[in-house]
C-alpha cells in the first residue's frame, strides 16, 4: 500500500533532490497556530512535516524541545486534539505527508487500536515513536500496517549492524538516522557519524533515510543531502517560534509568515 510518504520520496528521487522535513511541537504556542504553521511550512518547501506530540518526560529531546513540550502541555494539548488539527489541515487540501513524533505513553493511553484508526482517519501518514524498540514493535506495527500507516524507526550511530538490521526490518516509510549520540538540539557543525550510519543502513534497507538531530542551517541541509534522502530540522525552528513568541503576537498572520520565511531560508538555494 502506497501512502503520501512513499509518493513524496518517489517524487524526490525522480527529481534528484533531497527532502526537507521541518519539525514543530503541536500546541506550541497553541493549537490554532500549529494548524497555520503546518500550512505555512507546506507552502515554504517542506517535503514532509514532523509534528511532535508533547510529553511530560521527553528524554530524547534537548532543552529547546523540552521547553516547547512544557508550553504545549500547559495548553492541555492531547493526542485527540492533535489529530483534530491534522484533520483540519487536510480539509485545507494540504497534501504534504505528516508524521507524528511521539513517545509511546501518550499513544498507549489513547489505545493502540483506536489510535491507528483515528490517525489514518485524520490524515496522518506515519508515526515515529522515540522509545519503541524493534523487539516490542510488532503489535503496533501490525495495527499501523492494517491502516496503511508507516512506522518510522530511529537508528543511532552507536547501534551494531545486527541491531540496525532489526530496526530496518520493522521500519516502513523511511528510517530516521540520528546524526550523533545524545539528545536533540541545534549544532554549529554536524557529526561525522551521520554519513557513516547512513552508509551502514543502506546495507539493510532500500527505504529512504532521513538524518536529524543537530541540523540547523541551509549549509548543513545541503551537506546532509549528499548522502541521505532527507534532512530533518527541529530545534532551530522550535527555538525561532519561542523567540518570536516573546516579541510579537503569536496569533497574528505576520508571526506565521515569519516562521515560514525562517524555514524557507533553511533550504539550500
Query: How large is the angle between the packed helices 138-146 and 112-122, nearest 10 degrees?
Result: 40
Which entry of 40, 61, 223, 229 is annotated as an active-site residue?
A: 61
Catalogue the E-assigned strands of 108-226: 126-129, 150-155, 175-178, 209-212
Cα separation, 160 vs 157, whole angstroms: 8
Does 61 qualify as catalytic in the annotation?
Answer: yes
The DSSP result for 98-114, as a single string, is EEEEE-HHHHHHH-HHH
Backbone angles phi, psi at 239, to 5 degrees: -65, -40
Look-up of cell digits 507524528: 100
Closest CA to 150 of 197, 210, 202: 210
Find the catalytic residue in 50, 223, 229, 250.
50
**Could you list the active site residues?**
50, 61
Amino acid at each position: 500500500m502506497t501512502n503520501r510518504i512513499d509518493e513524496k520520496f518517489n517524487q524526490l528521487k525522480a527529481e534528484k533532490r533531497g527532502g526537507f522535513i521541518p519539525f514543530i511541537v503541536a500546541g506550541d504556542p497553541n493549537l490554532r497556530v500549529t494548524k497555520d504553521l503546518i500550512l505555512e511550512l507546506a507552502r515554504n518547501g517542506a517535503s514532509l512535516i514532523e509534528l511532535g506530540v508533547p510529553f511530560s518526560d521527553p528524554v530524547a529531546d534537548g532543552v529547546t524541545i523540552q521547553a516547547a513540550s512544557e508550553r504545549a502541555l500547559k495548553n492541555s494539548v492531547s493526542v485527540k486534539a492533535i489529530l483534530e488539527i491534522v484533520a483540519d489541515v487536510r480539509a485545507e487540501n494540504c497534501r504534504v505527508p505528516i508524521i507524528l513524533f511521539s513517545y509511546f505513553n501518550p499513544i498507549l493511553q489513547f489505545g493502540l487500536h483506536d489510535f491507528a484508526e483515528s490517525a489514518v482517519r485524520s490524515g496522518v501518514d506515519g508515526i515515529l515513536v522515540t522509545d519503541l524498540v524493534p523487539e516490542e514493535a510488532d503489535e503496533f506495527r501490525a495495527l499501523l500496517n492494517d491502516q496503511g500507516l508507516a512506522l518510522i524507526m530511529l537508528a543511532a550511530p552507536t547501534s551494531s549492524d545486527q541491531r540496525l538490521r532489526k530496526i530496518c526490518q520493522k521500519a516502513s516509510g523511511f528510517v530516521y538516522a540520528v546524526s550523533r549520540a545524545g539528545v536533540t538540539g541545534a549544532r554549529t557543525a554536524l557529526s561525522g557519524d551521520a554519513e557513516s550510519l547512513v552508509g551502514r543502513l543502506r546495507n539493510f534497507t532500500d527505504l529512504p533515510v532521513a538524518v536529524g538531530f543537530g541540523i540547523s542551517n541551509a549549509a548543513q541541509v545541503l551537506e546532509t543531502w549528499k548522502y541521505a534522502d532527507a534532512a530533518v530540522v527541529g530545534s532551530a525552528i522550535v527555538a525561532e517560534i519561542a523567540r518570536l513568541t516573546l516579541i510579537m503576537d503569536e496569533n497574528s498572520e505576520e508571526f506565521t509568515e515569519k516562521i515560514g520565511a525562517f524555514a524557507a531560508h533553511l533550504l539550500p538555494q
